[in-house]
Amino acid sequence: AQSVTQPDIHITVSEGASLELRCNYSYGATPYLFWYVQSPGQGLQLLLKYFSGDTLVQGIKGFEAEFKRSQSSFNLRKPSVHWSDAAEYFCAVAGTNAGKSTFGDGTTLTVKP
Amino acid sequence: GAVVSQHPSWVICKSGTSVKIECRSLDFQATTMFWYRQFPKQSLMLMATSNEGSKATYEQGVEKDKFLINHASLTLSTLTVTSAHPEDSSFYICSARVPGGHEQYFGPGTRLTVT
């Protein structure tokens, strides 16, 4: 069975500081990995995805993530956080068969001025 | 591209009544749509997978007679909460998968309050 762990429930960073959100997954083969962002009362927006190839993927809004098979991780990074980045972030994994995604519990990002 | 809409965005209904929520893919045809439920400060819980022209596949523990899903066309899936009770109050989110892809595009969600 596939699973996702986001170890950090809540992270606070200062505006302009760098950000890294952690994600660890469990899946028997090469997974499809995603990061989504959710603003309060809204649906989820896809930030980036990894299927294969280059392990460093670029996404929207200046985000990037690195797939590390040896660590079963897919951490999300941003070099300089903006106040508008405050939101809930979800990591997800999908298998190749059913295609269903399993979501982590999410990380709440707070940005201090 | 890949825009998904939901209607209504917010609904209040009385206990015992039924509520229908629509999920539409606006600029692509979605053979597969998903319905999720999200409680405050929690992650998404997959309720069912909806495939166009066939019966939905429900996750374990989800009452299929209570949460009726219909995916009658390639751009529309509906979720009907039948005989709603206060414990059904939640945020319901749909998503659609682009044909041939694995990423999902999410609707903005529907806040259901049952009084």
Using the predicted structure, report yes or no on whether residue A98 has a pLDDT greater than 60: no
Question: How many distinct helices (H) and strands (E) make up chain A?
Answer: 0, 12
Can you tell me the distance from the alpha carbon of A83 to that of A65, in angstroms, rounded to the nearest whole number? Answer: 20
Tens-place pLDDT, residues B19-45? 999 999 999 998 899 999 998 888 899
Strands A10-14 and A107-112: parallel
Residue whose token pair is 């529309």: B76
Tens-place pLDDT, residues B39-81? 888 889 999 999 888 889 999 999 999 999 998 888 999 999 9
pLDDT band at A24 (very low <50, low <70, confident <90, very high): very high
Q: Give the pLDDT score at A91.
A: 97
CA angle A99, B36, A33 (to 5 degrees): 40
- The Cα-based distances of B21 to A69, A93, A104, B28, B110 in angstroms read 40, 27, 25, 19, 7
Q: Which of A41, A90, A99 has its CB closest to that of B97?
A: A99
Q: Which residues of A touch B109 (CB under 8 A)?
A: 41-43
Q: Which residue of A has its CA nearest to B91?
A: A41
For chain A, domains (ranges, CATH) are 3-112 (2.60.40.10)
pLDDT band at B13 (very low <50, low <70, confident <90, very high): very high
Q: Give the pLDDT score at B101.
A: 78
pLDDT band at B94 (very low <50, low <70, confident <90, very high): very high
